[in-house]
Amino acid sequence: MNYSLRILSIITLFSTFVFSELPKGEAERLAEQAYNNALVQEQMLLDANKGKAEREAEEAHNRALFEEQRAQEEALLEEVRIKEAADEAAKRDYLNAKKAAGFGLAPITNDHTANHTRCDNTEVTFSLFDQYSDGFEATLSFDGTDMTGNTGDTFAFCLADGDYTYTYACSNYCGEHSWTVTLGDGTTLSSGSGGYGDASAQTLSFTVDSSGVPGCTDPAATNYDSSATFDDGTCTYPTPAGGDCGAAVELTLPVEGLAATTTGMGDDYSTSPCNSSYMGGDDYVATFTLDGDSFVSGSLADCSWCAMHVTTECVDSATSACATIAGGSSGGSFADLALGAGTYFVTVSTWPSPQSTDFTLSLSSAPVVEGCMDANADNYDANANSACADCCTYSLVQGCMDTTACNFNADAQQDDGSCVLPGDSVDCALALGDGASGDDTDFGKYYSFSVPEGTLLNTTVSACGTAF
C-alpha cells in the first residue's frame, strides 16, 4: 500500500498543477486514467512480491530435499566401502570404529524382519535352502522364532556378543534341507544339513564376537587359523579315505571281510549306471586293479538297504559303465563276473533311508585260464576255468554207454555223460501204457502214449495233486 499511496499523491499533485489548466471534461478523463494506471502498477508490485516469497520457499524446500538425498547417498557409499574393503582386519576396525562412534548397521530387509529398525549390535541372518526348492519341511528354532519356508527365505536377528544355540527338527524329506547362519559381510557362523535318524533332530551353536577375529579354529582342519578367536564355519578338512573317487581306497584282491562304514563319508553321488535307487545315502568308494582278464566274485553283508556298484569309472561319470551291482535289504553277492584288465570302482551306498550304514565287503579274483575242461580228455587242464572251443583230444571213443538211453552208442569206449534217458526230451519220451500211473518224482518229464489205428479214441489222461 505504500507504493499506491505515493502514486496517488503524485496523481493529486499532477491534477492540481497540470490538469487544472485543461478543459473540465478532459482533465477528469485524464485523472481517471492516471488513477487506473496506478492501481494496475500497484497490483503488479504485489504480485512480484508474492512470487518472490514463493520462490524462496520452494528453493528452501529443494535445498532440504537435496541435503536429505545427499545423506542417503553417503549412507549407501558407506555400505559399499564396508563391502569392498579387501582387508578383513581393516574392515573389522572400520566397523568397530563406527560402532564406537554411535552408528548402528541397518538390518537386512526381508519379509520376516519384524520392524526395519537399526541394529546397534551385530546383524545375523539365517538362510534356508531346499534341494528341490519345493518347501523347507522342517523348523529351525532360535530366540523364540520358528523358521520354515522355502529356498531363499531369510530371518534376521540383531544380537549382542555371546554364545548362542538353535535347533533343527524334521520329519519329512529331511535329506533335502540345508541352511547357513551368516554375518552381514558373508562370514559364516554356522551351517548344517538335514538327514534321517539322529540328523533329523539337531542342536547347533555359534558365537557372535564383534571385536574378535573370524576364522577356522579347529586344529584338525586344513585351513586352521591360530589367530582366529571365533569359528566362522569356513573349516575345510582332508577328504577321508573312501570319501569320494579322488580319495578312493585302493584294494588289493583278495579282500576278505573288510569292515567299513559310509558314515561321515558324505553324500557326494546320487546317480549310478547300475541302479540309482541305491545311491541315496552317504558313499564309500574303493578301487581294485586287474592285471589281466579275470573272474571276479564279491559280497556285501552286515548292512541295511545297501548295495555295491562295480563300475568302469567313477560312479557319476557320464562315460562310466556298470559291471555289476549286488545289494538288497541286508546286502548281496555276485560270482564269476568276467572282467578285462583295468581299474574298477566299487561304490557302497544306501537308499535315502538309512542314509549311512556299516558294512562288510569281500572281493576275490581269478585270472582267466582257457583250456580243456573235460576230465575224459587226454589234454584235460585242471587249472582251466574257461573252456576252449574244440580243443579237447581223446584216445578213446566217447559216447553214451547206457543201454536204456535213447542215444546209446555201442561203439563208445568211455561214457561222456551225454546220455538222454526216456522222458528227458520230446524226442525221447517215456511211453505210457494202459493204466499207467506216477508220482511227483516223475514230474518234469516227457511222456507218450499210442492208440491203435482204427480204434475209437477213448483215453483219459489226468494230473491231480502230486500224482497222475
Q: Is residue 395 scored above 60 in pLDDT?
A: yes
pLDDT of the residue at 175: 85
Rg from Cα positions in the chain:
49
Mean pLDDT along residues 384-394? 90
Lowest-confidence region among 26-40, 315-329, 360-374? 26-40
pLDDT of the residue at 286: 98
Q: Is residue 466 scored above 60 in pLDDT?
A: no
CB-based contacts of 348: which residues, under 8 Å, 6+ apart? 260, 262, 283, 284, 285, 286, 300, 303, 306, 307, 308, 309, 359, 361
Confidence of residue 56 (pLDDT cuts 50, 70, 90): confident
The C-alpha cell at 386 is 574257461
Distance CA 308, CA 359 (A): 10
pLDDT of the residue at 107: 36
Report domain extents, the chain: 2-71, 103-231, 245-367, 422-468
Please state the pTM of the whole predicted model.
0.51
Q: Is residue 59 scored above 60 in pLDDT?
A: yes
Residue pair 292/368 in contact (Cβ under 8 Å)? The answer is yes
The region that residue 133 occupies, defined by phi over 0 for left and psi between -120 and 50 for alpha, beta otherwise, is left
Q: What class has domain 245-367?
A: mainly beta
- Short-list 200, 196, 203, 234, CA closest to 217: 234
| Residues 102-114 pLDDT 10s | 433 333 334 344 4
pLDDT of the residue at 127: 97
Q: Is residue 247 scored above 80 in pLDDT?
A: yes
